[in-house]
A and B are shown apart, each in its own frame.
Chain A
Amino acid sequence: MTTETVHSNAGAAQPVLEVKDLCVSYGKVEALTNASLTVGEGQIVTVIGPNGAGKTTMLSAIMGVLGSKGRVAFDGTLEVVPEVERMVARGMNLVPEKRELFGEMSVEDNLVLGAFQRYRMGKRDHAQTLEEVYALFPRLKERRDQAAGTMSGGERQMLAVGRALMAKPKLLMLDEPSLGLAPLIVREIFRIIAELRRRGVSILLVEQNARAALQVADYAYVLETGQVAMEGPAHLLADDPRVIEAYLGFGKHQDMLST
């Protein structure tokens, strides 16, 4: 079972994101060491791994929130040093683990701000995008005038995803979208992730809920202590005894999501 040598996602049709040898260090501590991954167009790729493995660090570095060394090629262009505003302008969006909503502002203002970069570049179609996002999340439309900070955890997560979608991203990066949410909401979030892929959005999904992530993803990476420990097509990784033991816990047919 040497998945790391047998499989590679390099064959994915038209890579949207290619990361090679990405390194991030906090002072002398290396949080990410030579991590490489590929997201193909229209794919859902997931990164699973324990707490502190460097998953969030990796997303932050790709987005340009954190400084890094390595190569990040997005949509065919190599970024020497990714820079947040530029990455947003080019169609990459990150839904961070902490949501980072504008708590005192209304749901609708939060959403409209998601289109800021497009608006700034002269693409003023946010009214229409807003309707599309509302169609995907009817709940947000009901609460459009409510302050974002007063909503429930699940609604806030939907708002964070909706806000990112307002930028019409080519690649959506989700950091622990199911963290701290009730199982029913988690299911709803994963349903939306699958729906987004159907609409042609490529997705890089970082999850601790490995079971749900492997079920929805096409390809998966396992990150351990800052390094890619395993990779492979998601359904194969879900059958890998090491993955089952370390991340899926009990037998894989005890599926939490289908209850």
Chain B
Amino acid sequence: MDISIALILGQDGITNGAIYALLALALVLVFAVTRVIFIQQGEFVAYGALTLAMMQGGSVPATVWLLLAMGVLVTLFDGAAALRSGQARKALGVAGWNLAYPLALAGLFAVVPVASLPLFAHVVLTLAIVVPMGPMMYRLMYQPIASAPVLILLIVSVALHIAMVGLGLLFFGAEGQRTPAFSEASFDLGPLLITGQTLWVLVVSALLIVALYQFFERTLYGKALRATAINRVGAQLMGISPALAGKLTFLLAAFIGALSGVLIAPITTIYYDTGFLIALKGFVAAIIGGLASYPLAALGALAVGLLEAFASFWASAYKEVIVFTLIIPVLLWRSLSTHHVEEEE
């Protein structure tokens, strides 16, 4: 291997590592606030990428119907409950976000021909469709069992992962998709050819990480999520309901997932079930951070990305094995260096 190959592999590794870092941060966040292990993070990546690809192909993305279906269910549960307790305004708000909003999106697709829209509009629409599924999913599947043990929540996550992969096959078909790059620009940096998309991935990831940091440090809602992660009872006594914290967290996680999908769709071919493998690497990084430390998770993600890139050069047939084997020494080190912690209820 000469220096130029090493540089190219390094570039690949850092680009993928940036995406893994985003996913790892979302996993840590979701676990800290809700104790849910967010297995289905990868499906949000795939749904983001493939919804964009479908629109690029000129068709109405099928995910909009899933959004509508979830919205109807949420409206039935929450709207009815609000009406029963005589809170008409709340019921109206519930219906507005969960029914009127998906209907408006569906209506938009009925009126505007998808193919006529520019790439940027497709990206915005993709996020508009996929991201609200996060809070809806929390409301429907996790909120009723929010105080269940971690294991039960994990089982629900696995079930949702399987269901979403199946629906993905139904929506997007078995074909892999790749979308055009955000920009065709590229330039040389020494022996290295840096593509516009690589820059997009790095810049957007960096901006998102900074934005998330600002959100958690500066805004009251961000602090409320941190507070919930630190002390659930204390947060509840401040009026921060676990339901609100859970929905907000899932909103962020779905946004990170869908945006990651949109960013990598021009770099790799995405199949309906590709997301799992991508998110699993984010998961390895999150485990390196002990599902608790954001900086460690981000560093772990970079390590995973680089290891993957170099492994694909030296032993490409074993690259996944090598990456996932990394988790074994990490787990060993974790279990030896930390004391057993009883699960907090």
User: Which A residues have a C-beta under 8 Å from some C-beta of B?
Assistant: 63, 65, 84-85, 88-89, 93-94, 96, 99-105, 109, 112-117, 119-120, 126, 163, 167
Interface residues of B in 207-265 (CB under 8 A from A): 220, 223-224, 226-227, 230-231, 233-241, 244
Interface contact B236-A102, CB-CB below 8 Å:
no
Q: List the B side residues contacting A117 at CB < 8 Å.
A: 238-240
**Given A100-B231, A100-B233, residue A105 in contact with residue B223 (CB < 8 A):** yes
| A167 with B238: CB separation less than 8 A | yes
- Asked if B237 contacts A84 (CB within 8 A), the reply is yes
- CB of B195, distance to nearest CB on chain A (Å): 41
Bound-state Cα–Cα, A119 to B223, Å: 13
- Between A and B, 8 residue pairs with Cβ closer than 8 Å are A65-B233, A100-B237, A105-B223, A105-B227, A105-B230, A112-B220, A117-B240, A120-B239
Extra pairs beyond A88-B237, A100-B234 (4, CB < 8 Å): A109-B223, A112-B223, A116-B220, A167-B239
Q: Which residues of B contact A99 (CB under 8 A)?
A: 234
A115 and B220 CA atoms in complex are apart in Å by: 9
Residue of A nearest to B243 (CB): A85
B238 contacts A163, C-beta separation under 8 Å: yes
B interface residues (Cβ-Cβ under 8 A, vs A): 220, 223-224, 226-227, 230-231, 233-241, 244
Taking CB atoms, residues of chain B closer than 8 Å to A104 are 230
Note all chain B residues with C-beta closer than 8 A to A109.
Answer: 223, 227
Q: How far is the CA of A117 from the CA of B227 in the complex (A)?
A: 14
Q: Could you tell me if B226 and A114 are in contact, using CB atoms closer than 8 angstroms? A: no
Which residues of the partner chain B approach A113 to less than 8 Å between Cβ atoms?
220, 223-224, 227, 235, 238, 240
Q: What 6 A-B pairs are tightest by C-beta distance, nearest first?
A: A117-B239, A100-B234, A88-B239, A85-B241, A102-B230, A102-B227
Please measure, in the bound complex, the distance between the C-alpha atom of A89 and the C-alpha atom of B244, giving whole angstroms. 14
Taking CB atoms, residues of chain B closer than 8 Å to A119 are 220
* Bound Cα distance from A90 to B310, whole angstroms: 59
Contact across chains for A94 and B237 when beta carbons are under 8 A apart: yes
B238: chain A residues within 8 A (beta carbon): 88, 113-114, 116-117, 163, 167
User: B239, A116: Cβ atoms under 8 Å?
Assistant: yes
Contacts of A63 in B (CB 8 A): 237
Q: Which chain B positions have C-beta within 8 A of A101?
A: 231, 234
Check B223–A84 contact: CB distance below 8 A. no
Look across to chain B and name the residue whose beta carbon is closest to the beta carbon of A121: B239
Given known contacts A63-B237, A89-B239, is B231 in contact with A102 (CB within 8 Å)? yes
A4 to chain B, nearest CB (A): 32
Distance of A245 Cα from B230 Cα, bound (Å):
43
A residues near B235, Cβ cutoff 8 Å: 102, 113
CA distance A102 to B233 in the complex (A): 10
A154 CB, nearest partner CB in chain B, Å: 18
Determine whether the beta carbon of B239 is less than 8 Å from that of A85.
yes
CB distance from B159 to the nearest CB of A (A): 29
**Which residues on the A side are within 8 Å of B233 (C-beta)?**
65, 96, 100
Looking at the assembled complex, report how far the CB atom of A98 sits from the nearest CB atom of chain B, in whole angstroms: 8
Scoring A100, A104, A109 by chain B CB atoms within 10 A of each residue's CB, the highest score goes to: A100
Contact indicator B234/A116 (Cβ below 8 Å): no
What residue in chain A is nearest B241 (Cβ atoms)? Answer: A85
Q: Tell me the complex Cα distance, A189–B304, Å.
A: 53
Please give the distance in Å from B18's CB to the nearest CB on chain A: 27
Give, as a whole number of angstroms, the nearest-CB distance from B251 to chain A: 16
* Chain A CB within 10 A, most for which of B235, B239, B240: B239
Residue of B nearest to A86 (CB): B239
A126 to B220, CA, bound (A): 11
Shortest distance from the beta carbon of B299 to any chain A beta carbon, whole Å = 20
Task: Give the complex CA separation of A102 and B227 in angstroms.
Answer: 6
Q: Which residues of B contact A103 (CB under 8 A)?
A: 230-231
Contacts of A114 in B (CB 8 A): 238
Q: Which residue of the partner chain, among B220, B234, B239, B244, contacts A102 with CB atoms under 8 Å? A: B234
Contacts of B224 in A (CB 8 A): 113, 116
Closest to A64 in B: B236
Write the nearest CB–CB distance from A113 to chain B, whole angstroms: 5
For B85, give the chain A residue with the smallest CB separation.
Answer: A80
Q: Is the CB–CB distance between A102 and B237 below 8 Å? A: no
| A167–B234 alpha-carbon span in the complex (Å) | 14
| CB of B101, distance to nearest CB on chain A (Å) | 21
Q: Which residue of A lies closest to B233 (CB)?
A: A100
Contact of B236 among A65, A105, A126, A167 (CB under 8 A): A65
Minimum Cβ distance to chain A for residue B82 (Å): 13
Q: How far is the CB of B37 from chain A (nearest CB, A)?
A: 22
Closest B residue to A96 using CB positions:
B237
Residues of the B chain whose Cβ atoms lie less than 8 Å from the Cβ of A89: 239
Of B238, B240, B244, most buried by chain A (CB within 10 Å of CB) is B238
**A94, B241: Cα distance in complex, Å:** 15
Q: How far is the CA of A115 from the CA of B238 in the complex (A)?
A: 7
B221 to chain A, nearest CB (A): 8
Tell me the bound Cα distance from A167 to B239 in angstroms. Answer: 9
- The CA-CA distance from A115 to B223 in the complex, in Å, is 12
Residues in B neighbouring A112, C-beta threshold 8 A: 220, 223
Determine whether the beta carbon of B227 is less than 8 Å from that of A84. no
Closest chain A CB from B84 CB (angstroms) = 12
A96 to B226 CA separation, bound complex (whole angstroms): 20
Alpha-carbon gap, A149 to B292, bound state (A):
18
* Chain B residues positioned under 8 Å from A94 (CB to CB): 237
User: Chain B contacts of A93 at CB under 8 A?
Assistant: 237
Q: Are B236 and A84 in contact (CB under 8 A)?
A: yes
CB neighbours (8 Å) of A163 from chain B are 238
